[in-house]
Chain A
Amino acid sequence: MRCPASSDRRRILTDILHWAAALSGIALIHPLLKFTGHTRKSEPRYVKIAAPLPRSGVHAERDFFLFAERTDRSKAWAVSRTCTHLGCRVNFLEDKQLIECPCHQSRFTPQGERLAGPAQRNLPVFPVEVQKDENGSVTGYVVTV
């Protein structure tokens, strides 16, 4: 027969062991989240698009739309294709001249301004550098993403 004092000691030691294991588990959460939360900063990406743009004045890339005015191709701007609601890739509806998200139908102007739908913010705009030849004709566009 085991004496009560020995049984109590065993129980206390087991409790300590359980608490130590639980605390170790909790203590590991911090380094785990710090490690997984680390983000490698990506370098800015330069996407070059050769002129001329299509007659519609819109060029679609995976991450952005490049627009240029029909009358003056040197006036260009790039709008992100990531919807500000939940991140779906938006599309440009040429007949309606607006950008629409296929997931929840948020709508934006070609300049990226929000018109309707569950998205609450405008689409981000990326810087565009217009490249010209010596005669001043537009030869291409460089978008910084």
Chain B
Amino acid sequence: MRERFLAVKNWLLSVRWGGHALISLYISLFSGLVLGLQYNPAEPFYSTATIQLTAPFGFFWRSLHYYSSQVFFLLLLVHFAVVIWENSTQFSQTAWLRLSAIAPVSLLLLFTGYILRDDATGAAAGAIAENIVLSIPLLGRPLNKLLFDVSAAGVQKVYLHHLAGLMLLGGFCLWPHLKRYSALWRNHVLLVLLLLGAAAVLSTPLEPERFGLLHIGGPWFFVGLQELLRLLPAFWAGAAVPAVLTSLLLLLPAAGRTRQVTLALLTAGLAVYVILSLVGWASALYII
């Protein structure tokens, strides 16, 4: 049993998770750039639908952007888990804060991508994000004007942040790491082929608004939050709880007992979030 555990541990530590994540990010950036040539934030759903349905290879580029972004985020999470578990690199508190901020920034990049397609799920996600930010005392209104403002400006600001604001912030977080570690394409051929294959055959979700829609399920990483929003006021469920979980990650001490306690709290928080997500998926099946 112990040997098997050690074998799994050795395998987990030997895989280049960070390199895989970086290559996925490069593919996501390139495919996003290609999509941007046809996407129009003034008519977000129409342009998404035309990319998907009528533009030559639009299906492929949209799928490639979607799956490479999802894979990037998942690989990033695994990379984080392995780095935290291994704990061999002694980051200073400031360096860790800057580097680990890539997790919430990447999550926001994924989330803004959902809003930009402006289908039933995207429009609901945008409205919910706006109302969550507005529920923050004192800072809510200016923050919303800065970040989302979908009810007044459509997806214009979200588009700007998806393309530039969050990308710059993510670049700032990653820059010292990228100067130190690089990824070689030849080491990730299988991943690239899998992503290209997935983009060629798997479709990407696009749910038009329709009369009588009974249930809108958020993106997979948002289902737990959607469930929490049913139980708690918007500020607590949408702002306070995610802020606490993010702070636990960003302020994770490098060593000592406080590190163990912080990690235990973070793991417990994520476990509760997974349970909430499962409840959300189960209730969606019941409603439909």
Question: Measuring CB to CB, which residues of chain A are less than 8 angstroms from any residue of chain B?
Answer: 32-33, 36-40, 42, 60, 62, 82-83, 85-89, 91-94, 100, 102-105, 118
Would you call A86 and B213 a contact (CB within 8 A)? no
Q: How far is the CB of A85 from chain B (nearest CB, A)?
A: 8
* Cross-chain contact of B128 among A36, A87, A93, A94 (Cβ < 8 A): A87
Asked if B102 is at the interface of the complex by the 8 Å CB criterion, the answer is no
Q: How far is the CB of B186 from chain A (nearest CB, A)?
A: 43
The contact string, 1 if C-beta is below 8 Å from chain A, for chain B 242-255, is: 00000000000000
Question: Measuring CB to CB, which residues of chain B are less than 8 angstroms from any residue of chain A?
Answer: 120, 123-124, 127-128, 130-132, 141-142, 145-146, 151-152, 209, 211-216, 226, 229-230, 234, 287
Q: Show 14 residue pairs from A and B whose CB-CB distance is below 8 angstroms, ordered by the A residue.
A: A36-B142, A36-B145, A39-B152, A82-B127, A86-B128, A86-B132, A88-B128, A89-B120, A89-B123, A89-B209, A91-B214, A103-B124, A104-B229, A105-B230
* Cross-chain contact of A37 among B127, B131, B141, B211 (Cβ < 8 A): B141
Which B residues touch A38, using CB under 8 A? 145
* Cross-chain contact of B216 among A60, A92, A103 (Cβ < 8 A): A103
Interface majority SS (helix, strand, loop, mixed), chain B = helix
Would you call A118 and B141 a contact (CB within 8 A)? no
Q: How far is the CB of B5 from chain A (nearest CB, A)?
A: 42
Which B residues touch A87, using CB under 8 A? 127-128, 130-131, 151
Would you call B145 and A102 a contact (CB within 8 A)? no
Q: How far is the CB of B224 from chain A (nearest CB, A)?
A: 14
Q: In the complex the two chains form, what is the Cα distance from A25 to B128 in whole Å? A: 31
Would you call B128 and A103 a contact (CB within 8 A)? yes
> Which residue on chain A has the smallest CB distance to residue B216?
A102
Q: In the complex the two chains form, what is the Cα distance from A143 to B219 in whole Å? A: 34
Contacts A37-B142, A103-B216 known; A86 to B234 CB distance under 8 Å? yes
Would you call A88 and B214 a contact (CB within 8 A)? no
Interface centre among A32, A36, A39, A87 (most CB of B within 10 A): A87
Which 9 residue pairs spanning A and B have beta carbons closest together? A87-B127, A86-B131, A102-B216, A33-B142, A88-B124, A86-B128, A37-B145, A36-B145, A104-B230
